[in-house]
Structures are given as structure tokens and as C-alpha cells.
Structure 1
């Protein structure tokens, strides 16, 4: 998978950039004289539906000068802030472009919408600063054949300082930030055949239309055309910046072919190791990850959290979505001390929660965890998949809302939240353990009604395992930690290949904590 920023930290799978250019009804080639044409989302939907009825045809590649850019060439090309769209206005937003080249061999069209009319934007070499020799090879003020993607900035961290809000770059990848965040996990418009038999297909946003914001507008609207061999799509993004940046998405999909494995709302992240990992890495930092929990909120009021893993083999987990109102990937630890990485700033990585809007039909939440030997590997994928796969000629529309930000756990309300998970050798400390299949789990629950209870309160742990044997389950309040309770228990893995664990704290009437889930693989069990 490709990450849309800091490419030096990410491995890239080959063949990501397959796409199809739009027909002449919507797109004007960048080499033509720019002209205005009427634009509406309904019109974009009609065009993409029509495109789905014809075969996929890739656009022409870049010329040699741009296609030959190396990583070092590309990372030393910067968009000039004074060339940003709307830089001379008093709106809250600025639009910048990413230079074509390196991995981005198929130009993306960019359009500005004003009063229902769209005009193509032409970017020139003079809009960029070339801190290398590349600029000498390109004639000054030459029009570029489209761009690689777009970035939208807004002053939501400090007055007058235009910081990055959202970027669209690389196939259908995009990233957003809440105030105070630094880039971490990515989202995609769509995922096809992710970690299934056969190659994964990567649909691509081939064009964007951005509504010019008026003075005082607190939101910005972006439309996108999606293309691949199997599907076309029309997307509408309504983006509202803040501590919790909210993006409302409508995706109208038109299927050229039947799709066996459709993935909606895909999130891609990195989990290397954490407190609960059986440590395989010699590293000075206590944790390295962009996200550490899968979080799901049920209509019953239950909140389920699953610590992520860097497994010894690819792991697919499926969760029935019946009653699940929200789901997403969370970065729960928010202190610098939890990571000790001043450069990567893992404690500032955003969490993302997704609300499905409307009736999506039956489906499942799917979590894919992939072995990673380096922190440059994006090894976590989360998506929603329908139980009934789409067929050739079928149309489907999905609406959802995304929340990007710190999303503090203490905002969860009455339930104590899982503050940390730790594991280690089972049995009593300082005593030799003969059973190497014995593992200890330590879970800290913090806040909520439970946090305010007296240490002698009548509360108890509920712990279950799909296999093996649980023993020595003990719950107590930690004296030197306000509002925190700790649960210990041992698990004897015995001969099970995989064990699913579940735990929470309750009293006689109700759950008092989030429900903790954990997957323990046999190859992690010591022989």
C-alpha cells in the first residue's frame, strides 16, 4: 500500500496507479484553452454511470522528463504558498497542488466551481519551487499536464497560519487532520480485493472539482471522479475543520464488472509494536504505531475495543455489524512519554471514527493485520464489506461521516475505557514457569462510573476465551492512579492455534467498562 505523505517511510506495492481518464463531457485536457462548463453532482453521477458502460482505457503516461523523477527529485519540489488558489482572498481555505512525477505517472484534473460553473485549473512550473536540478530541465512557466493531487489548508491551529487540513494524493488515498494532529493513518475512496486471492485493484480519483468557498464559510466541498477496471464512482466530500474534523461522504458507485470483495470506508494504518506486543524488535521506544485499537460502538451502549497486533502471519478478523453504529481506528495513548519519539510524534497521530448513514444492508467490519518488520510498512487495513457482492451493471450509493482528531477516550461517558494492555510470561512473578504456553494479560480500565467507585465496591471481572484455560483473574483499584482499575489473568494456550479473548468489568446490574477483545495466535505461544 502507498501512503500519501512521507513516502520515505512507506513501502509501495507495484501497479497502484491504473486508471481511466474521463470523457470530454466533464474534462478538458490541460493543454486546451480553459473554458467554463456547467457542473452538478447529479451531472457527475450521470457521466460516471455512462463511463461504467465502456471499457477501461488508461490515460497517456507522463513525458520522459517528469516520469523519470526519482524519490529524491520529487521530495525537493515544493508548491509556493503565494501561488495557492484563493491566496489573495479573505476565505478560510487555500488550495495547493502536488507536482506530477515519481510514483504519480497519471495526471489528475483539478477544477474550481463558481456559481455552478466549473473551470479547469492549469498549474505551471512557476507555481513550484525546485530545490534540485529538475527545474533546469523544465522550461520556465510551462503548463503542467495536470497534477498528482491536491492539498487544502486552513488556519485551524493558530490564527492566520494556514496548516494542512486534508490531502488527496495517490490513487484514491486521502488524509485529514484535526487541530493539533500530525499525519498518521490514511483513508481511501474504495478498496477492491484487499488481501484476497488474486491481485488487489486500486481505483483512482482521476479528477477533482472544488467549490470556491465564500467569505465566512466554515466548510469546503470537494467532488471527485473515481475510475478503475471494475468500477466508476462519483464522490462528494463536505469537510468541516476543527479539533474533530468532520467529513461527510457520499459515494455513488457504478460497476463495470462483478466485484467479489468490495471494501467501503477503507482505513490504512501502521502498527509495529506496543506495550502488549510480545517484543520481537530491539528498539529504545516503548511503542511505535499510528493506531493501536479498533473501536466499535454498539446501539446497546456497549463499546468494544480490540488492541491491534503485528502478527506472525496475515490475520483476517470479521465482526458482524448488526447494531454497530460507529467503528474506526484509534490512537489512544496521547502522551509523548508513551512513545519517546520527538521526530515521528506518534502521540499526535489522529484517530478516525466512521458513522454509516442510511441503510447499507447486511455486512461485516473486516480487520486485516499483516506482519511488518519495519515501521515503514502500513500493515493494518480496516474496511466494511457487504454480504451481497455487487454485480456487473449494478449501481450502489453509500453515505457516511468520518471524524478525524484526537477523539479523547474520556469523552466516552459512563464506561471506563481501556487505557492500556500489557502481556508477559504467566504465573507468579519471580517463580520459574514450567508451562511455556502460559501467558499473563494485564488490562487497565480508567474513568467512567467505575473510576469513581471505592476500592471495596462490589465489582467483578468477566473474562472468556474461545479455547485454552483462564486462571488467576484478579481485579483491583490501583492506589497510586486516580480512577484506574487493573485486571490480571493468566491464559493457558494448550494446543489451540488461535485464541479469542474477551474481558470487561461489571457489577450486578450492568457493564462498567468497554469490552476488551484480543486475538492471540498459536505461533505467539511459546513451545
Structure 2
């Protein structure tokens, strides 16, 4: 089981020990006084990067953790936050394109240096670390470090350098703030052996190259060399900040060894509780989550919405597919009053949609849900697992677009799920059937706003048990809101997989498909007796 602690800033990196070797010395060429210092030029292209990754895959992996761990251990969360990169040393502040770039320092939770380069006219020069780039409080442990330790990552800034909109930091993790200007879930380069009964492997970006296009503001090309004991890879990110933030990603992967579970385009998020599992709420805020559901657009055109769970044990669900059109972790609930959080603003957290390019063939979307009892833990992971075995000597190529957005980028002309509720079954005022549970799903959109009662019906399938009572209808006084519910008797503690959509009189689906995995062990005293 993996567990991500936000306050510790990806502390799992400490146990992964994945790093690139940073040379102790480098030939330096000085830029303008008081600015960044660069190494000597060397040719660069994406094809060269692919060749480098392919060559590395035939060589033994080397752990390149910083030799200064004794000092870095002193730079804990608070001391890391006290380090400030000087705006005067940011890359690309001349207004000729790109976005100002600031760099992250090493610390307790980021002890693997990343070599960062700038590319111009086919030539790359390494940006060399200097302590003078950072404002350090008096007596800060970072002052004990030499001037060749490297960086832990970077971030793309607004022109004012007051806020950032993209950050690469820790292993192969990166994220964008989305159109609502609030960071939330993260993406990463690859996931390896997630939720298997053996240690998960965390590949990392060991070298990064930054390139801008002359005259194109808010667009940056990021190239990255991925490295781990099991695989290497070459990545190209075309990052564009518009109304929604978009990243076009290409990657070529070169396995060093057979990999049991390779997760492509992984997303990592947090779900503690919502209206769906309110019995788990112990905090005063009504809901706490970065994402409230998994959306899938299957190759056959079906739209699926799977509300997230916070289980008592790690759960992995697989959704088989062929030629997927897209999937993502979404934050559909944008109502502030549902969260009441004016500190971290969960209602503003971005949704991230993965849009495959080309033919991804057969495989499955896997959803991993991990128990959590606090909002500091990222406990949700989703990724694509290719159907073919991953073995040495067989490179893999993937291309996809990440949409960091407030809404799905390609909405269907269907009603979509906006809330899921659970509670005791039966009819108020009458004896409640023993162990009866009610499941209520609210839909909105599509043709639902034109329906009268009796114009449609819910189509329901359960992996076990029978539906004892069901109906669907427009909600009185709530224009456009359509509600469906059903009762079933819960027996035993095994999960129950549920599936429902609203069907019109012509037999066609009027909504996306609601999938839900009900966990009886979480119900407690909620069932009717």
C-alpha cells in the first residue's frame, strides 16, 4: 500500500532512491552579472533524448542521491518553505516568450538532484546551481551546502512572478493550477507496480530541458529523461496556459526488466469524504476532497461516472477497454457551501482529463483507492495499463493530452451525475425492512430538463442482491435536476458493484452510466433494522 503525505511533500521519495548522477563539477559560462550561471553548450533534440534513454536501458541503474544527505535532512518542511528563489534570477524575464521560471531547492524530501537545462537554437546549456539564487534565513542549513548540488525541480510563473501555474517537483510528479488558479491533484510520468504486494517503484525525472518559442507567451516545452531500476524514458511536454491549461505529452519508454503493472498517464488525488460517505465525516467541514469521481469515455462511446470511495483496505478496480477516448479524475462539485473551506478552496480544485492520441489498443483503466483519515494524504490513483506484457527490448510509445480544467473538455449530450447519496431503505412512516439500503443519484443536463414523471426509468444492475424499490423523477422546485433511486437488501460484507442509467421511452440512454462500488463494511449503523 502506498500513502502520500502532503505536509511531508511526497516523503515516499526518500524510500524510492531514484536519482540521476549530478557531476561534482561542470564547465561554467557566466551569464549577466547577478543572473543565472550556465554550463557549456551541447547539441539537443528530442530524438537525441530518445537515443539516450534507449542506451541507458541497456545499462545498470545507478542511484544518484545527493551525498549531502546529512545537511539536507535538516531542511524539513518548514525550513524548505523558508527558502525563496530570487525573482531577479528567474529564467526568461525578457518578455520574448515562454514564462518566467523559478527553481526549487533540495531538502529533506527532495534529495535527488535534477539537472536542468535551457535549450535555444538546438543547443542546450545546463543551469548551474548557486546558493546566491536563493534568499536564505540567517543560520539556515542550506548555507552549509556547496555550490554544485543541483535543483529539485522548477515552476512556471505568471509574468508578475507572484503566482505559478505549473510545477515539476519530486520523482516524476507535476501539476498545474487550472483555470480556477488552485492547485489540487497531481500527475506523474509513470506508475510502476502500484497497489501490488511488493514495494511500488517511483521513476523520476533525472534531467530536464526547458525551451520556449520566440514571441509565444505562456507556452513552454519541457523535455525530461525518466529513470528507474525497471525502465527509462524520454518525455516531451508542450505546456500552454490558456482558458484551460493543456499539456501535450509524448513519451518513449524502454524497459530494463519485465514490469508486472505499468501505469501510463497516472493521476494522483485525495478523497476523504463527501455527501456519498458522510458517515466517515469527522471534520466540521461538510466535504473534503480534491476529486469526487472517475470519468471514463470508453472506446465504444459509453460515458461512465464512478464516485470515489474511502475504503478500509486498499481497493483496486479495473475497467477493461479498447481504444479509450479518455478518462480523468474530476471535481464536479463547485459549490462553496458544500465545502465551507475558505483556506484551501476545494471547490476550485482542477479536474484533469487524459485524452489519448493515436491507438492505445487494449488495456484497462485502473482505479486504486487507499484508506485515509486526513486530507493530507493523497489516496486516489488512476492510470492506464496496456494489455500487452511490458518486457525488455520492446519499446513503448504513448502520446496524450492532459486537460487541467474546471469541467470535462468533451461533454456529452447526456445527463451527468452530480451527486450520490446513501441511507436506509424503505418508506418513511412505515417499518423499515431489515438491512435495506437506499441509493439516490442526482443527474443534470442533456434532455432531462424536458422530462415529466413517467417519461423515463432507471435501468439497474447489481453484482449481487435484488432491487426491491426503484423510481426516477424530476425534482420539484429544482429545474433541470432529475433524481433516481433504488432499494436493495445488503447481506454479507463483500463489495457490491452497482450500475445504473436513465432510459427514455425510445430505449436510448439519457444519461451517462453511474457505476458504484458499495462497501458494506463502511455502512456501520446506517442500514435499516
TM-score normalised by length of structure 2 = 0.91
Deviations 1:198-239 (Å, cap 9, x if unpaired)?
111111100100013312345211000011111111110011
Aligned partner of 1:145 among 128, 146, 149: 149
CA RMSD of aligned residues (A): 2.3
Deviations 1:51-72 (Å, cap 9, x if unpaired)?
1111111125242433432222
In structure 1, the partner of 2:269 is: 269
Greater Cα shift, 273-282 or 34-43: 273-282
Contact 1:421/1:442 (<8 A) preserved: yes
Contact 1:181/1:405 (<8 A) preserved: no
Aligned partner of 1:79 among 85, 104, 107: 85
Aligned CA distance change for structure 1 residues 162 and 387 (closer, same or farther; 3 Å): same
Contact 1:180/1:243 (<8 A) preserved: no
Aligned partner of 1:114 among 110, 116, 120: 120
Aligned CA distance change for structure 1 residues 419 and 483 (closer, same or farther; 3 Å): same
For 1:471-482, list aligned pairs within 5 A. Answer: 471-482=468-479
In 1, Cα distance between the equivalents of 2:430 and 2:182? 44
Contact 2:115/2:207 (<8 A) preserved: yes
CA deviation after TM superposition for structure 1 residue 331, in Å: 0.3
Contact 2:443/2:483 (<8 A) preserved: yes
Greater Cα shift, 181-190 or 80-89: 80-89
In structure 1, the partner of 2:43 is: 38
Deviations 1:438-479 (Å, cap 9, x if unpaired)?
11111111121112x142462111111111121221211112
For 1:318-337, list aligned pairs within 5 A. Answer: 318-337=318-337
CA deviation after TM superposition for structure 1 residue 405, in Å: 1.3
Partner secondary structure for residue 378 of structure 2: coil
In 2, Cα distance between the equivalents of 1:326 and 1:433? 42
In 2, Cα distance between the equivalents of 1:14 and 1:118? 28
Aligned residues: 512
In 1, Cα distance between the equivalents of 2:138 and 2:468? 63
Aligned CA distance change for structure 1 residues 413 and 383 (closer, same or farther; 3 Å): closer
CA deviation after TM superposition for structure 1 residue 355, in Å: 1.2
In 2, Cα distance between the equivalents of 1:136 and 1:187? 29
Aligned CA distance change for structure 1 residues 28 and 113 (closer, same or farther; 3 Å): farther
Question: In the alignment, is residue 154 of structure 1 matched against residue 154 of structure 2?
Answer: no
In 1, Cα distance between the equivalents of 2:42 and 2:230? 28
In structure 2, the partner of 1:225 is: 225
Greater Cα shift, 122-131 or 104-113: 122-131
In structure 2, the partner of 1:130 is: 136
Greater Cα shift, 333-342 or 122-131: 122-131
Partner secondary structure for residue 121 of structure 1: strand
CA deviation after TM superposition for structure 1 residue 297, in Å: 1.3
In structure 1, the partner of 2:440 is: 442
Contact 1:232/1:254 (<8 A) preserved: yes
Aligned CA distance change for structure 1 residues 299 and 65 (closer, same or farther; 3 Å): closer
Partner secondary structure for residue 491 of structure 2: coil
Aligned CA distance change for structure 1 residues 185 and 430 (closer, same or farther; 3 Å): farther
Contact 1:235/1:250 (<8 A) preserved: yes
Deviations 1:376-420 (Å, cap 9, x if unpaired)?
1111110111222211232111111111110159x7242111111
Structure 1 gaps of 5+ residues are none
Contact 1:73/1:132 (<8 A) preserved: no
Structure 2 gaps of 5+ residues are 29-38
In structure 2, the partner of 1:518 is: 516
Contact 1:86/1:94 (<8 A) preserved: yes
Contact 2:98/2:212 (<8 A) preserved: no
In 2, Cα distance between the equivalents of 1:198 and 1:79? 38
CA deviation after TM superposition for structure 1 residue 179, in Å: 2.1
In structure 1, the partner of 2:212 is: 212
For 1:91-106, list aligned pairs within 5 A. Answer: 91-106=97-112
In structure 1, the partner of 2:34 is: none
